[in-house]
Amino acid sequence: LQNRKPDRPTILHVAHVAHVSKSTAARALSGATNIRPETRARVLAAAKSVGYEANQLAKSLRSGRTGMFGLVIPDIANPFWAEVARGAQDRAAQNDASLLIFSSDWKAAREASHLRALRKARVDGAIVNPVEDSIDALGRFGTPVVLIGSSAERFPELPSVGSDIAQGVRLGLNHLLSLGHTDPAILAAPIGRLARARFMRVVHDFFVERGRDPAGLLVEDGEYTVDSGKAAMRRLLARTTRRPLCVFAANDLMALGAMLAVREAGLLCPQDVSILGFDGIPAGVFSHPSLSTIAKPARQIGDRAMGLLLERVRGHASPNHMVLPCEMVARASLSDLSGGRRGQLTATG
Amino acid sequence: LQNRKPDRPTILHVAHVAHVSKSTAARALSGATNIRPETRARVLAAAKSVGYEANQLAKSLRSGRTGMFGLVIPDIANPFWAEVARGAQDRAAQNDASLLIFSSDWKAAREASHLRALRKARVDGAIVNPVEDSIDALGRFGTPVVLIGSSAERFPELPSVGSDIAQGVRLGLNHLLSLGHTDPAILAAPIGRLARARFMRVVHDFFVERGRDPAGLLVEDGEYTVDSGKAAMRRLLARTTRRPLCVFAANDLMALGAMLAVREAGLLCPQDVSILGFDGIPAGVFSHPSLSTIAKPARQIGDRAMGLLLERVRGHASPNHMVLPCEMVARASLSDLSGGRRGQLTATG
DNA sequence: ATGAAAGCGCTAACAC
DNA sequence: GTGTTAGCGCTTTCAT
């Protein structure tokens, strides 16, 4: 065992100093009741004097529980996911648990590799935003898993925490309507992503409910990134001469990219093009103009997912699916076409 | 052992299936040479057939190494630190290591608590951006520690990775000078932080070198946050009527806050007030105007710190201190007062 | 080339 | 109330 760490004191050292057996020391340390108070005091004193810290590895090997959890998200450097991570991490820390964080970059291969690492590390459970095609690997994960994000729907039997996309989209659409924007173009999520289908379905329904033809919808596809939002906006601008134009983007990064494209085209936001985002990332405050958006409760999602996971691990029953509401954050990227008579246009259809 | 996980196959199962002893199975699995090829094949086949995965906990208990590392940063939701985390995380993943990430919120108590958690988890090493007053706790951490950020200087004996603040500040000051801004006001880091002292010392020296009196420097204190940057800018605006004004902020968040305050005061950036940031966070691209800034190599810092840590753990010698250069990112928040004759004013003083 | 056995540090039966 | 013992799953002598 040449590679070992400098030896830290074990329970055996403590026992020796306290003149008791290993197990008595263990009992004292674990707070068992069947022990003479003075013995316990002696052990505790001994432990303190040698600077004893229990070896979590040994405890884990015996108990099968590590007190560690995994978090697999697309990208920790993405502000939305960083917020989620922060929420999960804080909740974990409150419960003396630690969090292993991995970024999958939306790649199934990386996700699978991270999931393997988590299994290897013997985490007590994991929170995962699954890449679509690898989702079934989660069923065999072995330890409790809580899903976050829109792909959760594919695995109804697994617990999940997410934001209420449908409610959020409706919130945005209603807001747009109240400002007089009746025909928003859509900068959509990547084709194939479940979130896209859900988003579009709500938009579709919304149109139909109001007796409008969804076929007239302008849709451009993107990739959840600034660059792709910019490119999508360029294509959109080339496709339609409608001004003022209104655009509803699938996420804030795309919306911000779109804003760049608008400026690049010599147009003004919101005068020529109104832009509504989705996510609520901090950068939206600083854009020019500041970005109106539907804010997902990112930190809360992480917090609740961790909470659910902890309950699962502890064997408590818990709700299987949690859906947290989105909020409208009205800033400056939307023009008001309603002539000031803003209000509940929803009732009139 | 009532709380145990559903039993996964152990090396004993494998040995049994392969009709060999535990130790032979171990040898085959570990790739030892002193084993008959056909025996090894049999073991490997058995392992695959039962779906064997080595228990990392048991390995760790024996070897004393967990393959896990800790990262303690102020706030994972802060874009700069998220980048650092991403860099460290990627490098860790490349080396089959995992990363436990903690946010200290610049609080010594939280940092200490996280450090304790890391010790408990028996990480092989840690990367820490230390809160000033708790820094000595790191000396007794027991496992290799790599420091990141400016507080590293306080612990010259510990290896560290950081950005070259002095070079970065000079880069900014020179850039400002080349644009004709000879008297930048400073939105400084929190009092007491080492980074503040270093920043100010460079500014001071820069002034002196050019025969100017540093006493004339306008300085406002902040807290590294948008709100405090905004407040500091308000105070600055109330304090001086100099226009055009030029402000050099200790970080981008403060710079962005300052920009908000400028707009709020009915002034124009960069016409009335030029603003230079420090960090290079993504949000600077979207601000109005886009933020000129000194970019720290955030991701690289995380990457190199993890690299250094891995070398240390493996017993390799490695450089003790790494200083990565900053880059000037010229965007739109600085006005050009030089009348177009931009150039090396530095030579003329 | 293979097996037996010890031991990493801990907890929990089981004795007394 | 306390000591003895076994065993979590693995690696690594030490024999053979």
Residues B91-149: pLDDT tens digits? 999 999 999 999 999 899 999 999 999 999 999 999 999 987 666 777 778 889 999 98
Per the document, the length of chain B is: 349
**H or E, element range at B25:** helix B22-30
Q: What is the pLDDT of residue A224?
A: 87
Span A307-327, average pLDDT: 91
pLDDT over 90 (residue A345)? no
Least Cα separation, residue A113 to chain B (angstroms): 9
Cα A267 to chain centroid distance, Å, stands at 34
User: Is residue A6 very low, low, confident or very high in pLDDT (cuts 50, 70, 90)?
Assistant: low
Q: What is the 3-state secondary structure (H, E, C) of B299-333?
A: HHHHHHHHHHHHHHHCCCCCCCEEEECCEEECCCC
pTM of structure: 0.88
Phi then psi for B223, rounded to 5 degrees? -135, 20
Chain B residues with CB under 8 Å of A121 CB are: 56, 67-68, 98
Phi then psi for A16, rounded to 5 degrees? -60, -50
Q: Listing from the earlier edge strand, what are the strands of the sheet with B185-188?
A: B219-221, B185-188, B245-249, B273-279, B292-295, B327-329
Q: What is the pLDDT of residue A84?
A: 97
Give the residue, A94 or A138, on which the prediction is more confident.
A94
**Identity of residue A330:** A
Q: Give the range among A177-181, A310-314, B344-348 with minimum mean pLDDT.
A: B344-348
Is the shortest CB-to-strand distance from A27 to strand D under 7 Å?
Answer: yes
Q: What is the pLDDT of residue B149?
A: 86
Least Cα separation, residue A163 to chain B (angstroms): 19
Least Cα separation, residue B214 to chain A (angstroms): 32
Least Cα separation, residue B347 to chain A (angstroms): 36
Q: Which residues pair with B276 in a beta bridge?
A: B248, B292
Which of A4, A143, A283 is facing B282, going by the closest CB pair? A283
Q: Is A299–B55 a contact, with Cβ atoms under 8 angstroms apart?
A: no
User: Is residue A349 very low, low, confident or very high in pLDDT (cuts 50, 70, 90)?
Assistant: very low
User: Is residue A142 very low, low, confident or very high in pLDDT (cuts 50, 70, 90)?
Assistant: confident
Q: What is the pLDDT of residue B155?
A: 83
Q: What is the pLDDT of residue B311?
A: 93
Residue of B nearest to A97 (CA): B117
> Which of A76, A252, A281, A314 to mutate to probe the B interface, most B CBs <10 Å?
A76
Is the shortest CB-to-strand distance from A271 to strand C under 7 Å?
Answer: no
Span A237-241, average pLDDT: 95
Tokens 């990739």 map to which residue?
Answer: A223
pLDDT over 90 (residue B75)? yes
Span A64-88, average pLDDT: 95
Using the structure, give the distance in angstroms from the CA atom of A8 to the C1' atom of D2, rounded to a whole number: 26
Q: Which residue is nearest to nucleotide D12 (CA to C1')?
A: A1
Is the shortest CB-to-strand distance from A312 to strand D under 7 Å?
Answer: no
Using the structure, give the distance in angstroms from the CA atom of B47 to the C1' atom of D8, rounded to a whole number: 20
- Calculated CA dihedral for residues A158, A159, A162, A167, nearest 10 degrees: 90
Q: In this predicted model, what pLDDT tens digit does every residue of B271-321 receive, in sequence order?
A: 999 999 999 998 898 888 999 999 999 999 999 999 999 999 988 878 889
Give the residue, A132 or B271, on which the prediction is more confident.
B271
Using the structure, give the distance in angstroms from the CA atom of B22 to the C1' atom of C4, rounded to a whole number: 10
Q: Which residue is nearest to nucleotide C1 (CA to C1')?
A: B35
Listing DSSP states for B44-97 in one string gives: HHHHHHHT----HHHHHHHHS--SEEEEEES-TTSHHHHHHHHHHHHHHHHTT-
| Mean pLDDT, all residues of chain B | 90
Q: Is B120–A56 a contact, with Cβ atoms under 8 angstroms apart?
A: yes
Q: What is the pLDDT of residue B286?
A: 86
Strand D: which bases are under 7 Å from protein Cβ? 1-13
Tokens 């030896």 map to which residue?
Answer: A7
Q: Give the range among A24-38, A330-344, B168-182 with minimum mean pLDDT.
A: A330-344
Residue of A nearest to B97 (CA): A117
Q: What is the pLDDT of residue A284?
A: 92
Q: What is the pLDDT of residue A344?
A: 42
Neighbours of B216 (CB within 10 A): 8
pLDDT over 80 (residue B85)? yes
Distance CA B206, CA B165 (A): 14
Q: What is the pLDDT of residue A156?
A: 85
Is the shortest CB-to-strand distance from B51 to strand D under 7 Å?
Answer: no
Q: What is the pLDDT of residue B220?
A: 96
| Strand C neighbours among A 36-65, CB < 7 A | 52, 54-55, 58-59, 61-63
Q: In this predicted model, what pLDDT tens digit does every residue of A151-207 receive, in sequence order?
A: 777 788 889 999 999 999 999 999 999 999 999 999 999 988 878 988 999 999 999
Helix ranges, chain A (H): 11-18, 22-30, 37-50, 56-63, 79-94, 108-120, 165-178, 194-209, 226-239, 252-264, 298-313
- Of chain B, the percentage scoring pLDDT greater than 90 comes to 72
User: Is residue A60 very low, low, confident or very high in pLDDT (cuts 50, 70, 90)?
Assistant: very high
Nearest residue to A122 via CA among B16, B48, B36, B5: B5
Q: What is the pLDDT of residue A135?
A: 65
